[in-house]
Amino acid sequence: MKNKRALEKLQTHKNGGGVGGEGREYWQDKWDNSNLGKDKFSPYGEVRDLPHYDKPKIHKGDDIALPEGTPIPAVRDGVVVKSGWENDNNHKQGYGQRIIAKNNDDTYSDYGHMKEGSLKYQVGDKMQQGDIMGEVGSTGASTGSHLHYSEKDPDKHYIEPSDSSRQYLFDFYNDL
């Protein structure tokens, strides 16, 4: 049922940008023409085959392919509400090592597939935009080193990452 709702949402905003957003094509082109090179960005909302799943699923975040050990900045100010393995009993599941922060605007930012042992923040820690939270890795259901960045609304439903969040990550990684 959740996938059906997400598909309907995508059909409403076919460009993927939501109301007033730039859209997936804009961000894909921007990343492809950056210092990082082509094929380093996979946007929210694509229906694709994901590792460890038997059927295509909607991708609920932006993936940025980066070398293991690359720093991960906080995109917004907030408080950490989860830090550690997505599943303590199965480290190959989901986003692996991750940090979820409740942002000051009551939305959530989720940073996944972080390098094991690199998380610098624990539950309850406050962070500010630009603070280095950890490092890029390939933990969980991942086929290569990358940052999975996603956002959720105050009711914890996945939403497309905002243009301001995407721009912040683009500037940060394009300037490395």
Given its phi and psi angles, is residue 43 left (phi above 0), alpha (psi -120 to 50 degrees) or beta?
beta
pLDDT in tens, the chain (176 residues): 344 444 444 433 333 444 345 777 888 898 888 887 778 898 898 787 766 677 888 889 999 999 999 999 999 999 999 999 999 999 888 899 999 999 999 999 999 999 999 999 999 999 999 999 999 999 998 989 999 999 999 999 999 999 999 999 999 999 88
Q: CA 48 to CA 57: how far, in whole Å? A: 6
The CA angle 92-169-129, to the nearest 5 degrees, is 95
Closest to 138 in 3D by CA, of 94, 89, 78, 81: 94
> 45: how many CB neighbours lie within 10 A of its CB?
24
Is the dihedral angle over the CA atoms 143, 145, 146, 147 positive or is it negative? Answer: positive
Across 97-145, the runs of DSSP E, i.e. the strands, are 97-103, 108-114, 126-127, 132-135
Query: What's residue 1's pLDDT?
Result: 37
Q: Where are the domains of the chain?
A: 2-174
Is residue 6 within a helix (H) or strand (E), and if so which, with residue range?
helix 2-12
CATH for 2-174 (2.70.70.10, 3.90.190.20, 2.40.50.100, 3.90.170.10): 2.70.70.10
Closest to 125 in 3D by CA, of 174, 77, 165, 60: 77
Q: CA 16 to CA 25: how far, in whole Å? A: 8
Per residue in 77-103, pLDDT (tens digit) is 999 999 999 999 998 888 999 999 999
